[in-house]
Structure 1
Amino acid sequence: MEAGDIENLTMFNYSYEDYYDDGHVKYLCLETFNFNTLSGAFFIVIFIFSLFGNTLLLCVLFIYENLKNVTNVFILNLACSDLIFTGMLPFWAVNHLHHWIFGDFACKFKTALYYIGLYSSIILLTAMTVDRFITVVLHNSPRIPANRLRCAMVSCVAAWIISIAAAVSDAIKVEVVSSHWNSDLFCEDASDKISLNLGYYLQVSLLFILPFTIVVFCYSAILRTVLQASNRKRYRTVVVVFCIVTAFFICWGPYHIFIFTDAFYEPKGCYAIDRFNMAYYISRILAYSHCCLNPLLYMLSQKLRRHLLQLLKCNKDTRNHRERGNGLSSNVSHNVAFTTKSSAVMLDEPSK
């Protein structure tokens, strides 16, 4: 189970365990709503939309866009990160709808997918923001496009190496354990409470607060520069990247807040437990839904929308391909070459 997840204690119609200070009497509280079923259903829906949207996005990038463009490189890696995170959702949905039935290896594999997708998304978004900051504010982007592309690729490789290394470390800690109340199995971190709390603090600090601080600083300077510029159209990339980064922190922010809160706060009474768990489950659904949100944000680009329509119109693409194969006029070939060249920079501003 991921960091911050509240253990699902089930016994017949009871699901929450509460301890009162008055004599340390233990009470079982009746669950008012089955959030496990609701979460499992949402995870299936998110999986379908994310798989479809990110697959279409990858097809558009590979068929119509120039992958030697820096922004395209970051978007490609973010789409891969979302797909990796998406691969975790079916396991998690079954776990909520029933219980863990896949064994110990699948438990570690699912956890690794979760953390690889989460860590890589944060690092890639931060790197993309820093790239915008250097280009727009400092005007220190390499004059040779190949150098800037090389820097972006190094950043992406570093993001994957760090994410995989950290995810493997987290996956080793999880195992399949039995419920305290029945024979149901759960995939969760078996570490002691002190280690779990330390992990929560480190996760929130290094993977949310620090990137959030960097992003706020960079975009404060970027927006100030854009507002002072005479030609704001050339900074259209900033708008798209800003929406992508903002959506990530809006989706994952409440979830990380609950991770931090759960480490030291223990609600007292059935009503408090019920409200706390309700807010927690909603924040987790919002966080997991982020993986299917990015393809929609990329549609802010008019060029990407046009490419997507071209991809979906299979008959038109087939006819154009047949015309190119028959080698019609040189003007047609020239127009196709010009269109391809003009779409090489999907979102970047014109060269200075």
Structure 2
Amino acid sequence: MSDVPYNVTADILAENDTTVYTTIDYGAYYDENISFPSPCETDDLQSFGQVFLPTLYSLVFVIGSIGNGLVVCVLAKHRNQNNLTDISLLNLAVSDLLFVFTLPFYAHFSVVGEWTFGSPMCRFVSFFHYIGFFSSTFFMILVTLDRYVIIMHAHTVARYRSWSATVALSLVVWLLSVCASLPPLIFSKVTNETGGVSCGYDQDAEERHPYIPFAINILGLLLPLTVMVACYCRILPTLVNMRSAKKHRVVRLIVCIVVAFFLFWAPYNVCILMKFMRTQQTQCRSDISLRMALTVTETVAYTHCCLNPIIYAFVGQKFMKRAAHLLRKWVPVVLLPSARDMSDSSYRKSSIVSRSSDVTTTVAM
């Protein structure tokens, strides 16, 4: 067979016994000056992720482990004196610990560039990652609802805030979190890609059943934000009318809780929706910008678990004295108040009987 020449006969048309030859010039096809579209280059994005993600994940892991671990130790030590708010804060800290304990796996994945822990670990790390995420969100909702009923319906709900009711509510929240995390357990898998072995949510399953983007946005942002805004908008007028020196500090605390939650999680949720709605015709530069924004906002959102101990626990005077007492035992050289000053016997009041003063303390816990 002879080589194909530059001028190839394309069509042969016969009319009235006359053969007409139509030729097409393909010479320009071999012109070296013609440039063809190249694949979307992501080397800069990968280099950025290999430095940015492990650094931030490591900081979140260390700070989140210390802060939430201290909350668990303090509340577990005084478990006989804990109420529904304390138990909710304890479960919230456990949720955040479960969440941050999965970050070293993803940090290693970012540094190495591939998943080296196998398929079972891929599924279980994703499973516990989302359990920590959803349970943390659900316990924040429970803390908000508990504060609402304490302030708005203090005398009515006093007899219902028992130990058995607290345990039952906690179990229900954990059960809901497990159920919400089952799709990542089922559809997460290890895949062989061009850059190496990767662990993530099955892309085909995500296209057929887009659970993750909607679950994160609805259960992780819209639901808790709606509950916070609805409850705290009812709480704030009541607090303002109370005769308490602490009311202004508590009002500022409530505003900080809502604003911090929105600022840390809203950008990440917006990027997730934009990623889900992108099409195959998305330009390379826009796709890289979106992936860069998703990387940054995801890490910023994850740092919110480090703020939970500060927002929900460390601002309470009773909790601070208990934490100082515990730290003084562990680290005697730390310059903390003396044991006599740290005694919280003077803080053991009834949040139901003395409503005007103790309600603000309950909210600030």
Q: Give the TM-score category using the shorter length.
A: 0.7 to 0.9
Specify whether residues 194 and 345 from structure 1 end up closer, same or farther in structure 2 by C-alpha distance, changes over 3 A only.
farther
Residue of structure 1 in register with 2:39 after alignment: 27
Offset from partner CA, 1:98-145 (integer Å, 9 cap, x none): 12100011111111111111111111111211122222234454233x
One-letter amino acid of the structure 2 residue matched with residue 81 of structure 1: S
Distance in structure 2 (CA, Å) of the matches to 1:342 and 1:240: 23
Offset from partner CA, 1:53-88 (integer Å, 9 cap, x none): 211222222235654322211110101001100111
SS in 2 for 1:84: helix
The structural deviation recorded for 1:287 is 1.2
**Long gaps (5+) in structure 1:** 1-23, 319-331
Residue of structure 2 in register with 1:197 after alignment: 210
Residue of structure 1 in register with 2:57 after alignment: 43
Offset from partner CA, 1:12-56 (integer Å, 9 cap, x none): xxxxxxxxxxxx956322543523211022111211111122112
The structural deviation recorded for 1:281 is 1.1
Distance in structure 2 (CA, Å) of the matches to 1:92 and 1:268: 27
Offset from partner CA, 1:240-272 (integer Å, 9 cap, x none): 566445433332221112111211135843432
Distance in structure 2 (CA, Å) of the matches to 1:177 and 1:209: 32
Distance in structure 2 (CA, Å) of the matches to 1:279 and 1:310: 43
List aligned pairs for 1:1-352, cutoff 5 A. Answer: 27-33=39-45, 34-37=47-50, 38-64=52-78, 66-98=80-112, 99-139=114-154, 141-144=156-159, 147-179=161-193, 181-182=194-195, 184-192=196-204, 193-231=206-244, 233=246, 240=253, 243-244=256-257, 246-266=259-279, 268-297=282-311, 298-314=313-329, 339=343, 341-344=345-348, 351-352=354-355
CA contact (8 A) 2:322 2:344 kept: no
One-letter amino acid of the structure 1 residue matched with residue 138 of structure 2: I
Distance in structure 2 (CA, Å) of the matches to 1:134 and 1:65: 22
SS in 2 for 1:229: coil
Residue of structure 2 in register with 1:3 after alignment: none
Aligned-residue sequence identity (percent) comes to 27
Distance in structure 1 (CA, Å) of the matches to 2:78 and 2:162: 21
Distance in structure 1 (CA, Å) of the matches to 2:156 and 2:96: 28
Residue of structure 2 in register with 1:5 after alignment: none
Residue of structure 2 in register with 1:328 after alignment: none
Specify whether residues 289 and 131 from structure 1 end up closer, same or farther in structure 2 by C-alpha distance, changes over 3 A only.
same
SS in 2 for 1:101: coil
One-letter amino acid of the structure 1 residue matched with residue 316 of structure 2: S
CA contact (8 A) 2:155 2:352 kept: no
SS in 2 for 1:32: helix
Specify whether residues 339 and 198 from structure 1 end up closer, same or farther in structure 2 by C-alpha distance, changes over 3 A only.
closer
Distance in structure 2 (CA, Å) of the matches to 1:236 and 1:135: 18
Distance in structure 1 (CA, Å) of the matches to 2:223 and 2:210: 18
Specify whether residues 274 and 301 from structure 1 end up closer, same or farther in structure 2 by C-alpha distance, changes over 3 A only.
same
Count of aligned residue pairs for this structure pair:
309
Distance in structure 1 (CA, Å) of the matches to 2:255 and 2:352: 15
SS in 2 for 1:185: strand
CA contact (8 A) 1:31 1:274 kept: no
TM-score by length of 1: 0.76
CA contact (8 A) 1:208 1:256 kept: yes
**Structure number with bigger Rg:** 2
The CA RMSD over aligned residues, in Å, is 3.2
The structural deviation recorded for 1:239 is 5.8
The structural deviation recorded for 1:286 is 0.7
TM-score by length of 2: 0.74
CA contact (8 A) 1:53 1:295 kept: yes
